[in-house]
């Protein structure tokens, strides 16, 4: 089976497409799977009448469109290939693809909810139209799949980190010097390049580092979980604790700046270098905002989905990254991390608790983990090899092919997509009364 992933962003940055594609092709080259994956940039795929594009897409068994299937030309391309019998899927693959529930703190709220892009059709409704043009939806979030079950069948494909990257990064021993990573321009025989480098930070021996990194969509995760107030107390009780805050989020500076030199800022790095940063954490943090989504939001207006928060539509990737890095971690009890609860410390900060109660729970969990940090770190480090065998992309890449095969079987059973512009032919079973 050959899969072509159609990426809506510049390929070198769409790392969530590259990871499964590169892992699948590496397994194919090693003779461990007959399946292959290829990436193609969306604007190229939309020129599907061009002979060269038809050669690329025509050889595929599966066409997986990433995320933003929201314009008529994308819908037309999806319908064309479905009519020819291809398996066409949409993959909402990221941790923040709950577009119909985006809170104001997410920069994409202006686009998806307020339609600041001025789309003729509201963006969420345009996405629904794209999903109607597909055979299936895949996502690392079971909650998100249920959000759209009134439109299209959903199939769970979790996010996994690239094991090859994490195998190269060894956990930093507790109390060892901190390491800060960055890039330096180099020139070799007239050829310029960028070198990834790590530097020990003097005077950091004996410090304990709590670590977190993410995109600019996690403001509410910190503010409404109770983790911030808990850290106020932790820094007071444990003067040797530091927070390593990684990424480009600056909107929380008005809060975390009060901690002064207790906070270490690590700039963003390339995906393949991220494991080296995670490996410097002594404890990984994964707080989530558990406030249920507003009743007026959500395309399907499904009452059972309103009990979940926006953050519960994220993937479990942070937890799995910590496991594969050999780092003990703490995360919010949620639909996001429930399946990893045996492998980390789960903190109760659900919505029916007061902010003081959430803070108390985070403080208690952090205090206990810090007090027993050597034992926690030793155990996590020892489990790293096991984690890579269980949670890495290389260990699970077959799940992609198996899932697409299941989608193909469902497509055949339902007789879907046999004619142009026919989105779903749902077979009605007759009931015969004896």
Query: DSSP for 94-130?
Result: STT--GGG--TTSTTHHHHTT-TT--SS-HHHHHHHH
Q: Residue 320: inside a domain, yes or no?
A: yes
Q: State residue 300's pLDDT score.
A: 77
Cβ partners under 8 Å of residue 65, min gap 6: 6, 8, 42, 74, 78, 88, 89, 90, 91, 130, 134
Specify the range with the lowest mean pLDDT, choosing from 53-67, 220-234, 306-320.
53-67
151 and 213 in a common domain: no
CATH number for the domain spanning 98: value is 3.40.50.2300
367 and 253 in a common domain: yes
251 and 235 in a common domain: yes
CATH number for the domain spanning 368: value is 3.40.50.2000
Q: Residue 278: inside a domain, yes or no?
A: yes
How confident is the prediction for the chain on average, in pLDDT?
Answer: 90
Return d(Cα 239, Cα 241) in angstroms, integer.
Answer: 6
Asked whether the beta carbons of 159 and 167 are under 8 A apart, the reply is: no
Joined together, the tokens standing for residue 108 give 């994409």
Question: Which structural domain, as residue segments, surrounds residue 136?
Answer: 2-160+396-414
Coil vs helix vs strand at 68? coil
359 and 323 in a common domain: yes
297 and 402 in a common domain: no
Q: Residue 432: inside a domain, yes or no?
A: no
305 and 232 in a common domain: yes
405 and 375 in a common domain: no
167 and 156 in a common domain: no
Asked whether the beta carbons of 240 and 224 are under 8 A apart, the reply is: no
Q: State residue 426's pLDDT score.
A: 35
Whether 207 shows a pLDDT value over 50: the answer reads yes
Per-residue pLDDT, averaged over 156-170, amounts to 95
Joined together, the tokens standing for residue 347 give 């903190």
Instruction: Pick 387 or 431 by higher pLDDT.
Output: 387
195 and 135 in a common domain: no
The whole-model pTM stands at: 0.91
Whether 7 shows a pLDDT value over 90: the answer reads no
Please give the helix or strand (H or E) that residue 154 lies within, else none.
strand 154-156
Number of domains within the chain: 2
Whether 217 shows a pLDDT value over 80: the answer reads yes
Q: Residue 230: inside a domain, yes or no?
A: yes
170 and 149 in a common domain: no
63 and 180 in a common domain: no
Q: Residue 434: inside a domain, yes or no?
A: no
| CA-CA-CA-CA torsion sign (340, 341, 347, 349) | positive
Give the neighbor-by-neighbor strand order of the sheet with 329-332.
263-266, 241-246, 208-213, 283-286, 329-332, 345-347
Q: What is the pLDDT of residues 382-392, one digit of tens each?
A: 999 999 999 99
Distance of CA 188 to the CA centre of its chain: 37
CB atoms closer than 10 angstroms to residue 428: 5
Closest CA to 313 of 153, 106, 11, 14: 106
Q: State residue 368's pLDDT score.
A: 98
Q: Residue 430: inside a domain, yes or no?
A: no
146 and 222 in a common domain: no
Q: State residue 372's pLDDT score.
A: 98
Closest CA to 94 of 13, 152, 36, 166: 13
């Amino acid at each position: 089976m050959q899969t072509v992933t159609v990426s809506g962003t510049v390929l070198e940055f769409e790392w969530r497409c590259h990871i499964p594609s590169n892992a699948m092709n590496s397994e194919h080259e090693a003779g461990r799977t007959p399946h292959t994956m290829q990436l193609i940039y969306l604007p190229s795929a939309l020129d599907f009448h061009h002979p060269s594009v038809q050669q690329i897409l025509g050889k595929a068994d599966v066409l997986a469109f990433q995320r933003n299937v929201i314009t008529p030309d994308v819908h037309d391309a999806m319908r064309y290939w479905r009519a020819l019998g291809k398996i066409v899927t949409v993959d909402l693959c990221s941790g923040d693809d709950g577009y119909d529930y985006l809170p104001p703190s997410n920069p994409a709220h202006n686009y998806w909810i307020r339609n600041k892009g001025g789309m003729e059709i509201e963006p969420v409704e345009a996405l629904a139209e794209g999903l109607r043009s597909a055979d299936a939806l895949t996502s690392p979030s079971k909650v998100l799949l249920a959000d759209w079950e009134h439109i299209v069948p959903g199939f769970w494909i979790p996010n996994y980190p690239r094991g090859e990257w994490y195998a190269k990064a060894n956990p930093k021993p507790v109390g060892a010097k901190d390491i800060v990573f960055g890039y330096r321009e180099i020139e070799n025989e007239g050829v310029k390049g960028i070198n990834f480098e790590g530097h020990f930070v003097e005077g950091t021996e004996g410090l304990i580092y709590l670590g977190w990194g993410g995109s600019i969509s996690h403001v509410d995760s910190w503010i409404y979980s109770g983790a911030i107030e808990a850290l106020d107390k932790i820094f007071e009780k444990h003067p040797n604790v530091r927070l390593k805050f990684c990424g480009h989020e600056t909107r929380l500076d008005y809060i975390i700046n009060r901690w002064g030199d207790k906070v270490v800022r690590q700039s963003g790095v390339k995906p393949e270098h991220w494991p080296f940063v995670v490996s410097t954490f002594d404890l990984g943090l994964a707080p989530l905002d558990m406030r249920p989504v507003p009743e007026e939001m959500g395309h399907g207006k499904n009452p059972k989905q309103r009990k979940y928060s926006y953050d519960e539509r994220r993937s479990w990737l942070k937890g799995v990254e910590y496991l594969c890095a050999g780092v003990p971690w703490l995360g919010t009890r949620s639909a996001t991390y429930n399946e990893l609860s045996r492998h980390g410390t789960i903190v109760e900060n659900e919505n029916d608790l007061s902010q003081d109660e959430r803070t108390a729970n985070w403080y208690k969990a952090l205090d206990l983990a810090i007090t027993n940090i050597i034992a926690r770190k030793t155990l996590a480090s020892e489990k790293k090899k096991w984690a890579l065998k269980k949670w890495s992309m290389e260990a699970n890449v077959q799940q992609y092919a198996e899932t697409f095969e299941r989608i193909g079987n469902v497509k055949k059973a339902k007789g879907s997509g046999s004619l142009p512009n026919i989105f779903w032919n749902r077979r009605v079973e007759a009931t015969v009364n004896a």
